[in-house]
Structure 1
Amino acid sequence: MMTNLFSIFDPSTNIFNLSLNWMSTLIGLMIIPYSFWIIPNRQFILWNFILNKLHNEFKTLLGPNSFNGSTFIFISLFSFILFNNFLGLFPYIFTSTSHLTISLSMSLTLWLSFMIYGWIFNAQHMFTHMIPQGTPSILMPFMVLIETISNIIRPGTLAVRLTANMIAGHLLLTLLSSTGNNMSFFMLFILIFMQILLLVLESAVAIIQSYVIAILSTLYSSEVN
């Protein structure tokens, strides 16, 4: 019996006290071998087109001073989040991106990497970035404090943004589906139609959130160069 509405997000399936719901994160790996086909299918051609567009966009955001191949980090991040977001829309598949364990691990690792690299190899740029150009002298201490706080909370905002958007849609779908037992035949058709519309909306959210996380990570990376 479900004791709490949020317990639907708990990784409760286990064998020998090992949580198996986190295995859903690895299901996306089964989609990757399409790239090894001799004759690429339409799905691979479409996916390759999307990755090329993302590569060009990330390369523009990172600027000319970026390392060769650095865009592939953010393309991999986009692909990983997108696969897990979509897998969570299937019935009985655990949504790993709705947990801070996954989202905070990714955002915190990337943010720490950017900060360590920036402060070790480009400390002067990091100091000048704290004070926007044209700031009055009397406001400089406050601007340093504000920029420092906004920099520290970046991994948290990235993680919470992804987690909250994934939980909100799934929670709404669960709430609507739980009311179906007491509805009439006509209202049941309306409920199914609303659920289909919500699934379409959730599919769009899954794409948008993976794109937003990848873009913001790219922008944070470009600031340390």
Structure 2
Amino acid sequence: MKILSDWRSVRLWETQVERDLHRSYSLRTHGILIGTFTMLLMWGVSAMQMHLLHVDSLAVRYFLTLGVGYLGYLLVLRWWARRLVEGRSKLDADVGDGADAGEFAFDVGSRLGSGGDGSVLSDAASGALDIAGGADEGAVIVVPVIAIFLICAAVVLGAGSLVLLYFGWDALLAVAIEVAFSYVSARAAVRVAREGWLMAAVRLTWKPLLGAVVCAVALGALLDHFMPQVNSLPEAVRVLLKKKH
């Protein structure tokens, strides 16, 4: 009964924290700021690979850029959530009242992650490359058209996954609740099993990240194969526009 009582108290306290955060801050705006910072970080990492490290493969460059960007996102998310929690007027060590914010955040994250599965795109891209390898002279005309379609699909799906990943506020809310709970448990010795801020963040973001990685690597592989002379996606777009005209 003691454990059940503690669990209910924590559930009630979570909602109070969520209400306080929503009342004190515009979480959507904070999500946009975090996403903008992460995109700028990724742009800098990509530019460094291209101009300083001379990484020619776009697939490798995109993979490394997304990896560094995600690590930077997690660090900024943790720092930002801590600042939000410390900015609250008080932390109720006795645990407050309300509904269930943590479960709400996890449900939203699973909904976001359920869309934009990149495995189909990856299979299609590899199939197009196989066709290109064994094509005769007649098929060579068709393959670039397929490649352009797959490139556009990879750009759209990858960009959508990145928007869901970096510009949402659900992960920020979940991490802030976990950080706030760590403060409360340190003060009040509340013994309830929690997954921690890192697991909460990864749980809400790994599916969009996977979709973005698959789309980005597929896009890079297509550009490396069909347009090896280009060093970036904008350059590839300019080449395609010139061929169109």
TM-score w.r.t. the length of structure 2 is 0.37
The structure with the larger Rg is 2
